Chain A
Amino acid sequence: MKTVFAVTNRLLALAMIVAGVAVVLMMLHVSLDVVTRPFLARPLPGTTLIVSDYYMVACAFLPLAYAQAVDGHISMDAAAHLAPPRAQYHMAGFALLIAVVVFALLTWTATHDALTKFRINSFSIEFGTRIPTWPSYFLLPAGCALMTLISALRLLEYALGRLAPPK
């Protein structure tokens, strides 16, 4: 069990690092595109494509699991905190069950899509430069799979009666 958590924490950190690099690269890449515009005859090739298909997908989906691990997903507290602590504990378990189901579904269908894009070797051509797009499709199932894993582990903690109470 401990090893599982250790490995998962490594994966979480890795996902956050990749997403963090993507967000910093996005900032620098777009800034560079704007700042060099007066001096270059043409924009940097593929800025729009790389920003939307790579950086955005990475920073939207890779941090999902980290947010789940720190209870960061937005939920409504108004009614729930009136319930007795025992009921609140079960509600937390129920929310984790929903998370496991939802993200298992998303992982399944996104993996299927990514494999299709990989098979047809999906790419795009910007200003005559050929930019492959298929690798970006694997970021979505990667983020969702990690999210499913984290949610499942926390659901296990719930079943063992060890889930920390919500903040």
Chain B
Amino acid sequence: QSLRIAHGYPAQSIIGATYDHFAEYVEANSDIEAEVFALTLLDLRQASPGLTSGVADVSMVLTPYFQNEFSEANFPADLSMAANIDGRPTSIAAAMAGAMMEYIIFNCPDCLMQIAAQNQVYLATAPGTQFSLLCREPLASKADVEGKVLRSSTNTFRRWTEAMGATASSISGNEMYDGLNQGLIDCTVNAVGEMSNFSLFDVVKGITLAVPGGTFGGTGIGHFNLGYWADLSVEQREMMARGMAETAAFMSTAYVRQAQTDLAKAREMGIEVLEPDASLAEATAAFTRADVATIVQLYTEQYGVQDAQAKAETFQALLAKWKGLTDPLDPTDQAALAELLWTEVLGKVDYETYGFN
């Protein structure tokens, strides 16, 4: 038996290491031979259709790339800024991972139906760290941000950008360096770890931490082809799930470590690292609270999500629960997070039937 893993990132990246980790886990705990294809088999936009058609057995589906196919799972992913209501979590990656997985698997039959409609089975999500402002100059207050041009890659961040009196730009990821370098954009809204991924150290002079905040919650690292899943024995499915708990924890903590390394390097290079001042923090908090209603309305009207208000409340309750569970942990403690994801979510699943109803 074999397992074909494909992802659209370089082999040396965190996501590359994440899937290498999963492949090692599978080979160590079963007779299945796992092979990882980095970049060569599926790119980011091909991941979901590639799983549907069986080009790969496992891949990472960035669900927001497929707005209508995965609208039910994208809905809680879009609510990630709400994790900062009532205080920033120790690790937004850990809190969101747990909340997303528990929500999709146990609280959202609509999510599972959409995923099954794509001929897929869902096991895990591994979000990154807080979105921050990576800028050409240090910005601390709301007045600093006003009138600036910010690269905002999601609709939520575009709304925030406009609420702050700035202009949203949608230039692509590989134009980010040129855009910052030439002053076409003043900041890009990204996780701090993208500093090294996109080699931005030469063009960024100021980092404003955790505004707008939130994270990319649509990183479905554990999407399987349904036919492949059906051919596995119940023990093998359980092994895969256990491996996915390990893998999601590996990736989330690796992002935290990368953010720490990048921040240290930035400070060393004389890049100013700031907390938002009261004006910017309060404006962002006010936006975040109001935006929950906007997102509910958007998903109801544009994507036809049913009972969106109730779903939002369910998800926010789960976020609060997971903040409680993960806040006491060291954000780089992979084993502890893996254990939580297993005992609270994946360990409770019935692998005889999961994926088939």
Contacts from A to B (Cβ < 8 Å): 41-43, 48, 120-128, 130
Contact = CB atoms under 8 A, between A and B. Distances in A.
Nearest to B117: A120
Contacts of B182: none
A32 to B, nearest CB: 15
Given A127-B155, A128-B155, A130-B302, A43 B67 contact: no
Nearest to A41: B167
Contacts of B302: 125, 130
A121 B168 contact: no
Contacts of A42: 162, 167-168
Query: Which 5 residue pairs of A and B lie closest in terms of their CB atoms, listed nearest first?
Result: A124-B67, A48-B170, A125-B302, A41-B167, A125-B67
A127 B158 contact: yes
B64 to A, nearest CB: 11
A48 B169 CA distance: 11
Interface string B292-303: 000000000010
A162 B170 CA distance: 54
B327 interface: no
Main secondary structure of the interface of B (DSSP, over half): mixed
Contacts of A120: 68-69
Contacts of B69: 120
15 contacts: A41-B162, A42-B162, A42-B168, A43-B168, A43-B170, A48-B170, A120-B68, A120-B69, A124-B67, A125-B155, A125-B302, A127-B158, A127-B168, A128-B155, A130-B302
A120 B170 CA distance: 26
A77 to B, nearest CB: 31
A42 B158 CA distance: 10
Contacts of A41: 162, 167
A123 B67 contact: yes
B172 interface: yes
A123 B302 CA distance: 10
A123 B69 CA distance: 10
